Amino acid sequence: MELLDFGYSQSKWVSEQVVMDACRRGLTTRIFRPALVSPSITGGGNNFDIAVRLVAFMVNHGIGVDALNQVSFVPADITANNIVAISTTPGTANKTYHVTRDDYANMLDITGLITKATGRQFEIFSLPDFVPELIRRCRKDDLLFPLLDFLVGSVDNISAMEFKRYDSSCYQAARDASAWGKPDPSLEETVNGILRFMQRKGIISVAAREFNAASTCR
């Protein structure tokens, strides 16, 4: 608990202790730890969380970050499906599941796929340089603006977690054992779903003729 330094993660820790206590008292439990829940690959969703706001800001301002932090986007429909699939599969009780992508990816992978889909080019900064650049460019009408203080205050923690990697082997095994489990969509499909969502909501201004043409061909 002492290593969790802001309210969101602290509240998750407390809620897990409640679930673990229930388990010790004989109730059947499962703990699911989703990473970054993204829009569906068709662009469905209505969630303007910090990840969507940050990616939209990067697209609109043409800046990216070169950091090795694991970025694990899992579409909302896949996340929900697999939580239900695992929950109804025998032998999965009283375990913890990290609902993350099977394979490692970082933000350079994300911006690379956005460039492939839209032609948008990114000026890449190291993490220590990225945050000052973000502050310099961010304006009150940016969706990211209300979260600016949080990002600035979290940069040291983000740097400290650069080599943290999720172990989702338990999740993968339970998902694959279920007749209803769905595998990860490709990272490209996942990123294109985020782009569709952001375009549908009108929060990115990038020209996306190549992306739209690719979408039409599907």
**Average pLDDT of the residues of the chain:** 92
Q: Which fold has domain 33-217?
A: Rossmann fold (3.40.50)
Domains of the chain, residue spans? 33-217
pLDDT at residue 207, rounded to an integer: 56
pLDDT at residue 150, rounded to an integer: 86
Long-range CB pairs of 58-62, under 8 A, 24+ apart, other chains included: 58/111, 58/122, 59/114, 59/118, 59/120, 59/198, 59/204, 59/206, 60/142, 60/204, 60/205, 60/206, 61/137, 62/120, 62/121, 62/122, 62/123
Span 169-203, pLDDT tens digits: 999 999 999 999 999 999 999 999 999 999 999 99
Span 99-140, pLDDT tens digits: 999 999 999 999 999 999 999 999 999 999 999 999 999 999
Residue 214 has pLDDT above 60, yes or no: no
Residue 151 has pLDDT above 90, yes or no: no
Span 21-67, pLDDT tens digits: 999 999 999 999 999 999 999 999 988 999 999 999 999 999 999 99
pLDDT at residue 216, rounded to an integer: 41
